[in-house]
């Protein structure tokens, strides 16, 4: 009976907080939507078509699940259980931000890989007498996402009366790519000074192809160092997992004592700093 008392207290706290969350859900959903909208530009760049309210509900659900897991496995007192809530939300918010950034990075990389072919399609269309808008339509018909979606937005904005240079500037803001910025600058300069735009874009496509070759060579030459960085970053995580599984006494000390909690917090902070330093050392600008 005495042993069941802490569990009963925890369940009572969980039930009370669940009822409070249910009663104030509309306000919480509004706050979560505001939080998600702070990443609106990145969400748009990532190509997500999920409403902010639904993303906020997903963040809240994952936060609650993470909090429940922490409460079940650590059996904290009520005050500490309440403190776990902002910690859980901070972890989920960091994970959400990292996930969005990862999707943005992959989508921008996919767009950059399509840009050379898009330039050659535009150049070919201009050579056979098509206008710039018609050449962009050709790109949307021949290429897949994300190039298809982004150039379709340019065409849609031009259809409602937005000048082509303004629509292209909006494209650069949505897709922050140096090579795309060079393409838009070439188009805008040609529209003011004249010249053979098809030939200019063809030369630009050749330049982009050359840069791609350099990037591939750099990636091959730095592959060993990158792998070493991953090993160094994951080694503490592996050692920690081994301790959690093979050393019950040390695991209980880490989970159930203030010194253990401080050690875990210091570990995670140092791990993040170490990974950040390794990433900055391996970052090359070409």
User: Both tokens of residue 15?
Assistant: 């039930």
List Cα–Cα distances, 140 to 109, 149, 151, 163, in angstroms: 18, 7, 6, 19
Q: Do residues 184 and 169 lie in contact, with contact meaning Cβ atoms separated by under 8 Å? A: yes
Tokens 């009963």 belong to 8
Which distant-in-sequence residues (6+ apart) come within 8 Å of 153 by Cβ? 167, 170, 171, 174
Which residue ranges make up each domain of the chain?
114-214, 222-286
Q: Is the link from the previous residue into 167 a cis peptide, with omega within 30 of 0? A: no
Phi-psi domain of 131 (left: phi exceeds 0; alpha: psi -120 through 50; beta: other): beta
Spatial distance between the Cα atoms of 286 and 284, rounded to a whole number of angstroms: 6
Neighbours of 238 (CB within 10 A): 10
Tell me the whole-structure pTM to 2 decimals.
0.65
Instruction: Output the CATH code of domain 114-214.
Output: 1.20.81
Radius of gyration of the chain (CA): 26
Tokens 């996930």 belong to 99
Which distant-in-sequence residues (6+ apart) come within 8 Å of 76 by Cβ? 10, 70, 84
Summarize pLDDT for 206-250 with one digit per residue, the tens.
888 888 888 778 777 777 767 777 777 777 778 878 877 887 887
Tens digit of pLDDT per residue, the chain (286 long)? 445 555 555 556 556 656 655 555 566 656 666 666 666 777 777 777 777 667 777 888 888 888 888 888 877 777 777 888 888 888 888 888 888 888 888 888 888 888 888 888 888 888 888 888 888 888 888 888 888 888 898 898 888 888 888 888 888 888 888 888 888 888 888 888 877 888 888 888 888 888 888 877 877 777 776 777 777 777 777 887 887 788 788 778 777 888 878 888 888 888 778 777 777 776 666 5
Spatial distance between the Cα atoms of 19 and 25, rounded to a whole number of angstroms: 10
- Following DSSP, what letter does each residue of 238-259 receive, concatenated? HHHHHHHHH-HHHHHHHHHSHH
Spatial distance between the Cα atoms of 183 and 185, rounded to a whole number of angstroms: 5
Q: Do residues 78 and 61 lie in contact, with contact meaning Cβ atoms separated by under 8 Å? A: no
User: Both tokens of residue 278?
Assistant: 């390794």
What is the chain's mean pLDDT, rounded?
79
Q: Which runs of E-coded beta strand occur in the chain? A: none
What pLDDT is attached to residue 2?
Answer: 46
Alpha-carbon dihedral sign for residues 83, 85, 87, 88? positive
What pLDDT is attached to residue 196?
Answer: 81
What pLDDT is attached to residue 27?
Answer: 64
Spatial distance between the Cα atoms of 160 and 154, rounded to a whole number of angstroms: 10
What pLDDT is attached to residue 1?
Answer: 46
């Amino acid at each position: 009976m005495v042993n069941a008392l802490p569990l009963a207290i925890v369940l009572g706290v969980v039930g009370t907080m669940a009822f409070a969350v249910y009663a104030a859900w509309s306000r919480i959903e509004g706050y979560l939507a505001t939080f998600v909208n702070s990443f609106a530009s990145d969400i748009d760049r990532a190509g997500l078509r999920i409403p902010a309210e639904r993303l906020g509900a997903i963040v809240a659900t994952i936060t609650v699940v993470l909090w429940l897991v922490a409460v079940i496995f650590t059996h904290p007192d009520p005050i500490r259980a309440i403190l776990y809530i902002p910690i859980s939300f901070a972890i989920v918010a960091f994970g959400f931000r990292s996930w969005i950034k990862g999707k943005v990075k992959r989508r921008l990389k996919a767009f950059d890989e399509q840009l050379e072919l898009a330039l050659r399609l535009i150049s070919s269309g201009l050579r056979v007498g098509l206008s710039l808008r018609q050449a962009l339509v050709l790109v949307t018909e021949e290429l897949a996402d994300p190039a298809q979606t982004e150039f379709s937005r340019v065409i849609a904005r031009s259809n409602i009366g937005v000048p082509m240079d303004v629509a292209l500037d909006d494209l650069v803001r949505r897709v922050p790519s140096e090579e795309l910025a060079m393409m838009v600058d070439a188009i805008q300069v040609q529209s003011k000074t004249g010249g053979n735009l098809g030939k200019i874009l063809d030369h630009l496509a050749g330049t982009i192809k050359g840069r791609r070759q350099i990037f591939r060579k750099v990636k091959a030459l730095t592959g060993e160092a990158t792998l070493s960085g991953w090993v160094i970053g994951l080694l503490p995580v592996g050692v920690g997992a081994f301790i959690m599984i093979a050393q019950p006494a040390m695991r209980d000390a880490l989970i159930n004592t203030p010194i253990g909690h401080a050690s875990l917090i210091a570990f995670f902070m140092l791990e993040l700093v170490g990974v950040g330093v390794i990433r900055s050392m391996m970052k090359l600008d070409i």
